[in-house]
Structure 1
């Protein structure tokens, strides 16, 4: 076979190889787009509801609505409770924080008429809350208060931990060797919440993570069959969660609120 024939053959093989890669990527994209996330029967935590709340949060060019934001946390608390007592301490703290913001956001009329609370315009979104609390001098930059802004910051830090954990859980290494959820959760914690906890709390949390359920538990929790489907579902959740997290981060950073005591 001549040099030109060999070169032509090599080009054909290369094109076939690239074509097969494109086909596999297209099939993966098609699977991603076609996979509907539906309600999972018999479970309190519903990943479909979490995703819908997260997607409803972003508003305008750089804001987040508080009502779907807090609804997202309601679902994330159910997610943590499904893990057992492993993250019980953190989930209880989160429930306390969401209650504080809801109480600040509920109007007096709601309390008198005993109707389900609705968010007042001042607490409609992250930025409206920041604006009204600064205007009313409710935010103390030197000592602890129960302002909505300080409370939101604590939720924001916890959201980073869960984002990192779900991101790691969705990842499928090239080696094919999946690490234990316990290790992944501990790593996510060390890169986020651990920076704001005392030594005692950090130690208690890391000991608790040892009892984290195995990966197959998360398959059942999210209603998927295997790691491929888990990766597709959690990637969608992480993308929606990241958008909410980034907008909140920017709003807090712009007003110097990332280190509120």
Structure 2
């Protein structure tokens, strides 16, 4: 094998290692679809009203041939905020289910990151199952055991997220603090620590989509690769080592061109993409801000 071949192989191994460790133990310092059917009519009506009647609601239809559906993502995001500045965990996790499909569509390297995020969402779902009186359950990323729990009354699919301590962000925080499940000094698999890692990743995706929605005054559109790398430097890079940062930037080089994103959400041009993504960003921001406030009030923004 020549020098170039060896270099390419080394880069591939490095990227694969990055994907496997991206979220292993958290998005702080390590290398680090089951969608609930909400009332689509009501959610799309809300989005139509927020669009100012500019006709953008036509973009909220299901996009044929795509695993990722922006209409479902918006629906889940809008269902998450609840009273008292809280966030419901079931639609929050369902939003991540859709965001993982979004990341999977961007290529194998970003798709590896989504697998680690899936592990994090699975931990919260598993913790929910444990609080429902199933002492034999063990923490782990087994999505099937998490999403489908056999009971005497039949199969319970995520039903426990509708009630109980893991109903919302704030109810989870209060319960885990009361039960001493959160450590401010050691690594744990608590729901709060896991949520913090998802929370940091959500900021990265929000900023990337926000940049992708921008239409510069001079008309020059930057590549999604540059935008994603810039969003990363402003967010997750602060929690990663130098080696992780360099490997991540290398991984983002393989992101598809802008025209791919037009097809992904079934729009024709940058103007339509900007309108749609701006609404997605607004919905993400509401969920993010509420989660940020809850974590900050309880001193959980720097959990190990």
TM-score, with length taken from structure 2:
0.74
8 Å contact kept, 2:105–2:111? no
> What CA distance in whole angstroms lies between the structure 2 residues aligned with 1:153 and 1:112?
30
Residue 69 of structure 2: aligned partner: 46
Could you report, residue by residue, the CA deviation over 1:41-75 in whole angstroms, capped at 9, with x for unpaired residues? 11110000000000000000300000000000000
1:173 maps to which of 209, 216, 221 = 216
> What CA distance in whole angstroms lies between the structure 2 residues aligned with 1:135 and 1:155?
22
- 1:1-261 to structure 2, matched below 5 A, reads 29-31=52-54, 34-106=57-129, 107-108=132-133, 111-113=149-151, 114-118=155-159, 119=161, 120-261=163-304
> What CA distance in whole angstroms lies between the structure 1 residues aligned with 2:206 and 2:175?
29
Task: Compute the displacement of 1:123 (Å).
Answer: 0.3
Could you report, residue by residue, the CA deviation over 1:134-179 in whole angstroms, capped at 9, with x for unpaired residues? 0000000001000000000000000000000000000101111100
Unaligned runs of 5+ in 1: 1-27
Q: Which moved more, 1:165-174 or 1:82-91?
A: 82-91
8 Å contact kept, 1:53–1:68? yes
> What CA distance in whole angstroms lies between the structure 2 residues aligned with 1:243 and 1:74?
18
Question: Between Structure 1 and Structure 2, whose CA radius of gyration is higher?
Answer: 1
Task: Compute the displacement of 1:35 (Å).
Answer: 3.9
> What CA distance in whole angstroms lies between the structure 1 residues aligned with 2:244 and 2:108?
15
Aligned residues: 234
Q: Which moved more, 1:235-244 or 1:113-122?
A: 113-122
What's the secondary structure of 2:156's corresponding residue?
coil
TM-score, with length taken from structure 1:
0.86
Unaligned runs of 5+ in 2: 1-50, 135-147
Larger helix percent? 1
8 Å contact kept, 1:181–1:215? yes
> What CA distance in whole angstroms lies between the structure 2 residues aligned with 1:93 and 1:104?
17
What's the secondary structure of 1:45's corresponding residue?
coil
What's the secondary structure of 1:223's corresponding residue?
coil
